[in-house]
Structure 1
Amino acid sequence: MFQRTIIVTAFAGLAATTAMAQTAVPFALDWKFEGPAAPYFVAIDKGYFADKGLEVEITEGAGSLDAIPKIATGAFPVGFADINSVIKFLDQNPGAPVTGIMMIYDKPPFAVIGRKSLGITDDPKSLEGKVLGAPPPDGAWAQFPIFAAENELDMSSITVEPVGFPTREPMLAEGNVASITGFSFTSYLNAARLGVPEDDLVTLLMSDHGVDLYGNAIIVNTDYAAENPDVIKGFLEAVAMGWKDAIADPSAAVESLMERNPAADAELETRRLQLSIDANVATEAAMAGFGLIDEDRMASAVEQIKLTYEFTNEPDVASYFTEDYLPEAGFPLE
């Protein structure tokens, strides 16, 4: 996939006689420069990173799992990735220097998007006997086994077609598959943009059908964080301010996105951002303290992951997420 890297230098204020040096912080996104990425560009354009003495470099990703090895190897200090995939990665790579530090998608956008005209309804059982298109690196596909187990789907009756991210929605639009896995705010709108009537689209949000997991979070290389705690704290505060502004005015936030992706459809990306805010980000729990997690819910999520994944090592919930770099009450979004 074509990958762009946007480097934006945010100039810090000058001291009385000398300029303050900035710290470069490369940030690995999970996906392309679309609506839900806008808050991070808002944080650049409004100087929130600069105020913390940070120079931010944002790089596109190739899926919800993409950033994890980038962070674990130290290629990037911070990234954005599916926390459930982080949990599995840490089980397979004990002691790897990566953990979650700020929950963004309190309610995950993992979904199956299908077409009514091809037999898909709001009942997960309608997937049986049909063809499902799923990109192997897709975060939603990674959680599909839990969705299938919770809804007692007969997987032997579902034909799973491995597809690439660029061909996923086109295959659905062309009727080559009856449904696809993806993020609700991405695949739904992409399919509609390709000409699928919206009244023919069905969104099966996994969290509405028994999947009780968290979604994507800011993750960090723990070695870097231990050596640069103030950098990480400042980075998270700037991110929170970017999201706060985006929630207050999604259209204005997308203007920052359009500067980096002028080929995008501003109206479409504003809608995509709004969908992510409404369904995934601005939940009741997040509005009470953005960035935090509930320990009992995380423990429950680990138990649910066990339904379809056999841990090699005893799960250690404390290693998957830390609130050490967040305010005690989280960040305010209002």
Structure 2
Amino acid sequence: MNWKQTFCLAFGACLYLFSARVMAEEITFVTDFGINGRHAYFFVADKKGFYQEQGLTVDIVRGQGSSDAIKKVANNNAQLGFADAGSLVLARGNDRVPVKMVAVVYARPPHAIYALEGSGIEKPADLEGRKVADSAYSAIPALFGAYAEAAGIDQDAVSWVVADGGALPSLLSTGRADAIGQFVVGEPLLEKAVAPGKLVRLAYEDAGLSYYGNGLIASESLIDQDPELIQRFVTATLKGMAYAFAHPEEAGEILHGYHRQVDADIGAGETRMVKDLARQPGGLPMGVIDPAMMEKTVRVVSSAFDLKHPVDAKDLYVPGFVAE
């Protein structure tokens, strides 16, 4: 091959890549809350070109809680989002919000309340008479009624205080809050914040609750009008998850490259926690929504809240976006 042929091939390849980037469809994706280590795989999918392979340019923006993400998707401020299934039940049951889950990520409950060792909080009953801080749109206080019932404590005896999500680790480490709400995937960050202190974890799952946590969501209008776009996004995201789970240290470094405020070691630690939550029972492929688990989710939430409208599990998700 002479130099002219080599040049033409190289130029053609560059032109193809440039054209693909120009023609890529731009979409907005909103997280459940902020940008944290638990979100590393979205940035892995971007950095490794998995979204680009699917003809997508994805703008990943910060959410202010699952309820906020659901509202943004419903109002078309974002095409897709990441939100808690319990909050999805509440949105559907109270406001008939037309948003559905298209792939599950946290196949087990991620919700927990954290306190410090020596604070007098060692078991659920110790929360009575205490103040627990969390952000305004967090799913943890939203589902606290179900946890309180399962744990056999009086939910009205626990006070919830609204705080900025970024301030929660500091509130806990300095003792300005008796406890805080936090997904278990955030434990590596909390451990670093309270060191040399030790954490006490009161996980909702440990009280016997079984239901879905977070998943990828889309509006019913987008599901009807452009299911192929959703398919492409889900495919690329799951590829990013698989890569991040196999290379958590690299995932942490990639996230740190995008968002310097998230330490690489925290990104790696939280990615490992996500891998544990994403593991499906019974060999079900990662991301596939199990109808029985979605029904459990509806039962848990419905038992803890007086919903304005009955919710059918089939109204909360759409199958088929994950290859089985």
Q: TM-score, normalised by structure 2?
A: 0.89
Match of 1:163 in 2: 163
Rounded Cα–Cα distance in structure 2 between residues aligned with 1:189 and 1:117 = 20
SS in 2 for 1:133: strand
1:167 to 1:252, Cα distance in 2 relative to 1, 3 A = closer
Match of 1:281 in 2: 278
Deviations 1:19-70 (A, max 9, x none): 5722112111112222221111111111111111111111111222221011
Match of 2:30 in 1: 28
Aligned ranges for residues 69-88 of structure 1 at < 5 Å?
69-88=71-90
Rounded Cα–Cα distance in structure 2 between residues aligned with 1:272 and 1:17 = 34
Match of 2:204 in 1: 206
Rounded Cα–Cα distance in structure 2 between residues aligned with 1:284 and 1:300 = 14
**5+ unaligned residues in a row in structure 2: which ranges?**
1-12
SS in 2 for 1:219: strand
Rounded Cα–Cα distance in structure 2 between residues aligned with 1:118 and 1:17 = 58
Rounded Cα–Cα distance in structure 2 between residues aligned with 1:313 and 1:17 = 50
SS in 2 for 1:67: helix
Match of 1:129 in 2: 129
85-94 or 98-107, which deviates more? 85-94
- What is the aligned residue count? 311
Query: How far did residue 131 of structure 1 move?
Result: 2.6
Mapped contact 2:252–2:266 kept (Cα < 8 A): no
Deviations 1:71-119 (A, max 9, x none): 001111101011111111112222x331100001111210010122111
SS in 1 for 2:287: coil
Rounded Cα–Cα distance in structure 2 between residues aligned with 1:41 and 1:252 = 11
Query: How far did residue 242 of structure 1 move?
Result: 0.2
Query: How far did residue 143 of structure 1 move?
Result: 1.2
Rounded Cα–Cα distance in structure 2 between residues aligned with 1:263 and 1:16 = 31
**5+ unaligned residues in a row in structure 1: which ranges?**
1-11, 330-334
Query: How far did residue 284 of structure 1 move?
Result: 3.5
Q: Which of 294, 301, 306 is residue 305 of structure 1 equivalent to?
A: 301
Mapped contact 1:189–1:268 kept (Cα < 8 A): yes
Deviations 1:156-200 (A, max 9, x none): 4333333222332222111122211111222x33333333435x3
Mapped contact 1:38–1:256 kept (Cα < 8 A): yes
SS in 1 for 2:132: strand
1:13 to 1:107, Cα distance in 2 relative to 1, 3 A = farther
The root-mean-square deviation of aligned C-alpha atoms, in Å, is 2.2
Mapped contact 2:107–2:280 kept (Cα < 8 A): yes
Choose between structure 1 and 2: higher helix proportion: 2
Query: How far did residue 15 of structure 1 move?
Result: 5.3
Determine which structure has more spread, i.e. the larger CA radius of gyration: 2
Aligned ranges for residues 145-184 of structure 1 at < 5 Å?
145-184=145-184
